[in-house]
Amino acid sequence: MKRITIVAVFAALLACAHSTNQKYDVVVPPPPEPARYKLEHIYTGSAEYEKSGALDAVFGSKTAAEQHQLFKPMDVASNGKGLVYISDTAKPPRIEVFDEVKHEVRLIGVEGEGRLVLPLGMGLDPDGNLFVADGKLRQVFEFAPDGKLLGVFGSKESLETPVDAAVDPQRKLLYVADSKGHRVQVFSLVDKKLVRTIGERGNDPGKFNYPSSVTIGKDGKVYVVDSLNFRYQVFDAEGKFLLTHGLIGQEPGSFARPKGIALDSENHVYVSDAAFCNVQVFDQEGKLLIWLGAPGSKPGDFQLIEGISIDSTDHLFVVDQMNHRVQRYAYLKQPAIGAAAAVVGAVAPAVGEKPQDPVVAR
């Protein structure tokens, strides 16, 4: 009897260790509404690719760090071809690269001149080069797909606390959200020099109060989460202010601790909120269309969302920090998202939740 039990335990552990094909019954909105988003995968660490991972976790032959387990994920980026990059500030600070083709996890930024201290937001260019904002070193590091350091942008003079990076490949520009600088710094990808500055501290249109995330549309428009002004702002390709949307509140469409921002192929605007534990989706006029998530630890739930991203295949990646994971959704392109879909979910900060300085909160 004992032998049968031991064999059963080992079989279960091995099955858990190789769980990349696990199915989830999470769709948004739930039936009977047509599903528009489907949870496809949850990233937690290299154990999901390694048959020994579950056994090592139980018997201690590998530490959690050696298994490349996510501890404090901050941001995520995907090239749409099977490579998913996740920044993690736990020791050692690193970028975990989930290779869904080779079924392995490798690290970037843990040694040499490209060693990272506080890797936060990230961006990718069409060639697969990765740009990582380091909030402590006050620079943005550019890595090749193989992890080789290609260059560094910014300095202590031009960046105070870089928290996110986004690339405009058409205009060969790198945009950096400089949170404590209350601005977005724009660098040339050609010579790495500072080209211009967007914004300054304030609450008027075009000004910022701890910007936390930046992304670029195909038309060159710049979308910035203006975290402690509880809104996002949009600028044209030359940095001219276009519009702002959002205010503090507990109603759908408002914000408490907005964090990340992303765009899909249909130009919907996605904004994550760490207090609401959800991702709200807006049209180009700022109308709320739908939202995903609620507080919790089940698949499809979130606890302290940080960065989000959408890749070229319209997969939405959400950093679920306190659950030590990243969740991936497929966007199911149904007819236009309408108001009927936006009755799903709940938007409310945790009881007693107070907005925080996003840099301190990190």
CA angle 33, 265, 257 (to 5 degrees): 75
- Strands 278-282 and 305-310, sheet pairing: unpaired
Q: Is the pLDDT of residue 261 over 70?
A: yes
For residue 209, the one-letter residue type is N
User: Is 355:225 a contact under the CB 8 Å cutoff?
Assistant: no
Cα(127)–Cα(285) distance, rounded to whole angstroms? 32
Q: Give SS3 for 295.
A: strand
Q: Is the pLDDT of residue 59 over 70?
A: no
Q: Does the predicted TM-score (pTM) go above 0.85?
A: yes
Q: What is the mean pLDDT of residues 99-107?
A: 94
Q: Which residues of 272-290 are buried (b: 16+ CB within 10 A; e: fewer)?
A: bbbbbbbbbbbeeeeebbb
Strands, DSSP E only, in 79-218?
83-88, 94-99, 104-108, 119-124, 130-134, 139-143, 149-153, 162-168, 173-178, 183-188, 194-198, 211-216
- CA 358 to chain CA centroid, Å, is 14
Q: What is the mean pLDDT of residues 52-78?
A: 68
Return the pLDDT at 188: 98
Return the pLDDT at 352: 38
Position of tokens 């392109």? 333
- 4: number of Cβ within 10 Å: 8
pLDDT tens, residue by residue, 183-217? 999 999 999 999 999 999 999 999 999 999 999 99
Q: What is the DSSP code (8-state) at residue 323?
A: G
End-to-end CA distance of the chain: 50
Q: Give SS3 for 248.
A: strand
pLDDT band, very low/low/confident/very high, at 21 (cuts 50, 70, 90): low
Q: What is the mean pLDDT of residues 142-165?
A: 97
Which among 23, 110, 26, 6 is positioned nearest to 345, based on CA atoms? 26
